[in-house]
Structure 1
Amino acid sequence: MEYVYAVLLLHSAKRDISEDNLRRVLEAAGIAVDDIRLKALVAAVKEINIDDVLKSAFALPTTPVAVPATGTQAPAAPAKEEAKAEEKEEKKEGVSEEELAEGLSALFG
């Protein structure tokens, strides 16, 4: 994460995002620099337009939000059903502890 912050710092200062500049920022922050990670990040950043990424990341939603009229109240039952459906979806999307343990053992085993 520190590497990404360093890239954003260089970008906001309108400095060239190069290996040397990125290394200087990281070392000034007291972070040990991994050369492979540094090279990979610089290569990846050269392929993207940071301004466009930042604009899309912080863009406001364009879909209108439904607001009930004053004095009327929507029924509570549909909201509860939607909440239950979302909970079920979250459970399905989550990774089980067994899968997580297998993944970690593959990395460190």
Structure 2
Amino acid sequence: MAFDPTYSDPRSNTVFFERRELNQILRVYGRMVAAGEWRDYAIAGGAETAVFSIFRRTAEAPLYRIEKRPALARRQGAWAVVTQGGLIVRRGHELEQVLRVFDKGRLKVVE
């Protein structure tokens, strides 16, 4: 039996954001860009995690990472907001609740 290169192994799927999730994230991102807090973003999908990284300046390390880890969905929750230093600011089962950490007055960037 020959190897079929068009066959995709179901176990090697990449984790990525669904359209609804990306819309929620981009809504918060747009609000923060309008406020002058953020300037750039990057999106990455991996075997275990999808990451939306937020930058103040393009050349710097990301200020925050919004991570989706489906393997943790039943435990702490699939969603997390992680700071530049690796501190988990918020974790939860619902993206909307996790994104509330960026509501006005809740989070202050310290330089």
Q: Normalization by structure 1: what TM-score?
A: 0.23
Which structure shows the higher strand fraction?
A: 2
* TM-score computed with the length of structure 2 as normaliser: 0.22
Higher-helix-fraction structure? 1
